[in-house]
Chain A
Amino acid sequence: MAGAALKICIVYFLLNYIDEICLSWQCLTRPIVIAPLAGLVLGDFHTGIIMGAELEAIFMGISAIGGVIAADATLSSVIAVAYTILTGATIADGVALAFPIGTVLTTVNNLSMSLIANPMAAYWENLAVKDLKKFAIQNYLFAAAMKLIPTAVVFVAVAFGVDGLNRLLGALPPFVMTGLGAASGMMIAVGFAILTSMIWDKEVGIFFFVGYVMVAYLHMDTLAIAIIGAAIAITMFFSHKRVIDLKKELTSGVVTAQENTNDEEDFF
């Protein structure tokens, strides 16, 4: 089992790294691509292809909007393929088996996001300002390390079962997970606070609240808000333009008037 688990983990890690880090397609981690490749490394390409079709059909409707990656489709696929090929179980069995691993994986991903990725934000900022080459290299390595964490979970779960992992996570006091969850929601506020402090403008700062109210009270879509914002901005632009044009006309008007008087004085 450990050998097969290792093979599965290599496929899982490579496709995750190549797709989600190097390409950002969120395409190679879909069941229809990863299942055939998992089948290939386990020696049954054909079953992998057919299972890829079935699994894609199951997971197609489960959406992940706005950059949240459907890790469970990927995880369930590799595990279902491994179990079917190794033990002759059905797809449904494989998916059912992947479910507890998916839950553990979500917890571990949340932990590594809160404890490692979020606190790193300030480090990246300092590094980027100092040395962009180092920044790039460390980013590639860091992203690989971050992908190794879920891969290790998958390996342990497949090779030794999820019970031990679950017990380990269960030993965490519940307030730690609640606290980290609460911290996550507020972490985004740090990003927004930095952004807001950079773009804040006393004269038009109130529009922050206009946008806020449009979502909080009116539950509007960002595209709709952007169109209203553009309409306000365009109206503002043209009214300012008119003021500037008028000023120009006035000043040039004054100049010609003065010239005229000069001419008259010369004349007299």
Chain B
Amino acid sequence: MANNNLTAQEKATLNKMFWLSHLVFISFSMVKMEANGFTMTMTPALEELYKDDPEEMKEAVLRHQSFFNTHAVPFSFVAGLAYAMERQHKEGKVDGTTIENIKAALMGPTAGMFDSLFFNAIRVIAAGISIGLCRNGNFLGVILFILLYGVSQSVVKYFLLNAGYTLGTSFIDQVFNSGLIQVLTKCASVIGLMMVGAMTAQMVNVPLNLVVNTTGAEGGEVVVGDILNQVFPGLLGVCALFLMVYLIKKGWTPTKLILLIFAFALVGAAIGLF
């Protein structure tokens, strides 16, 4: 790869990031999914860049603590790209929101591509070969499976991390030199918001199970959830999301929101709302 142009410092940071980028699923939760793994992967980069700037450091940590989810292999590509963007953020070339947007834009498509490649293709091929060997009691089949399906992921990860970094650096430098970085910020927002909208439709779900019988007669039941979904699919989910965005802008903390949802879901289930 174009590794030759990197400074010793960059190489050292990328190396540390490579090992940490294996912690994708550490402390996985439904709220932020792989956010903790991403923060840990970004730690060497952030410590290198913002050692002397606690205020920027805090903001950067929060940026990488936000919701993140993709396949484990392209995870390192996004991390490499984020490192490049953080460096340019420090130089004043890119603003924080653009970093968020580019991360958000890459989650869905990379997950789809690499799920098909690794889970549906390489895993099946590796298992096919190894099953043949193991059926005869040959332990080499197990080793082969680990090499083909496990170690291969780390190798690809290594190249993707470096590719993300070099690509991010050269691309953003080019755009910055042409004086169009403000425009890039807008364009990144378009893709970022579009992908977050798409993922909201895929993942957020308010399972309303409310049946109202207005007439009191047999067969007069109205399934409220179905009606709402006919008006706009997933209407409740979108409303819940924007209510929470509003509350966050009002200064509510995530803890409060999580507790609110807990209480709401349990009470709702108790009275037969869900």
Q: CB-defined interface of B171-211 with A at 8 Å, one 1/0 digit per residue?
A: 00000001110011011111111111111111111110000
Q: B residues within 8 A CB of A189?
A: 200, 204, 237, 240-241, 244, 261
Q: In the docked arrangement, what's the CA distance between A173 and B137, Å?
A: 48
Q: B residues within 8 A CB of A188?
A: 30-31, 67, 203-205
B153 at the binding interface (Cβ < 8 Å) = yes
User: Does A199 lie within 8 Å of B270, measured CB to CB?
Assistant: no
Interfacial residues of chain A within 22-36, with CB under 8 A of chain B in the complex: 22-28, 30, 32-33, 36
Q: Tell me the interface secondary structure of chain B in the complex.
A: helix
Q: B residues within 8 A CB of A175?
A: 266, 269-270
Q: B residues within 8 A CB of A196?
A: 193, 196, 241, 245
Chain A interface size, under 10 / 10 to 19 / 20 to 34 / 35 or more: 35 or more
Interfacial residues of chain A within 51-81, with CB under 8 A of chain B in the complex: 52-54, 56-57, 60, 63-67, 69
User: Does A241 lie within 8 Å of B183, measured CB to CB?
Assistant: yes
User: Does A24 lie within 8 Å of B24, measured CB to CB?
Assistant: yes
Residue positions of A touching B, CB distance < 8 A: 20-28, 30, 32-33, 36, 45-46, 49-50, 52-54, 56-57, 60, 63-67, 69, 113-114, 117-125, 128-129, 132, 135-136, 139-140, 142-143, 146, 175-176, 178-201, 203-205, 207-217, 220-223, 225-230, 232-234, 236-237, 240-241, 244
Residue positions of B touching A, CB distance < 8 A: 22-37, 39-40, 43, 46-47, 58, 61-63, 65-67, 69, 71-72, 75, 97, 100-101, 104-105, 108-109, 111-113, 115, 119-120, 123-124, 127, 130-132, 134-135, 137-139, 141-142, 145-146, 149-150, 153-154, 178-180, 183-184, 186-207, 232-234, 237-238, 240-242, 244-245, 247-249, 253-255, 257-259, 261-262, 264-270, 274
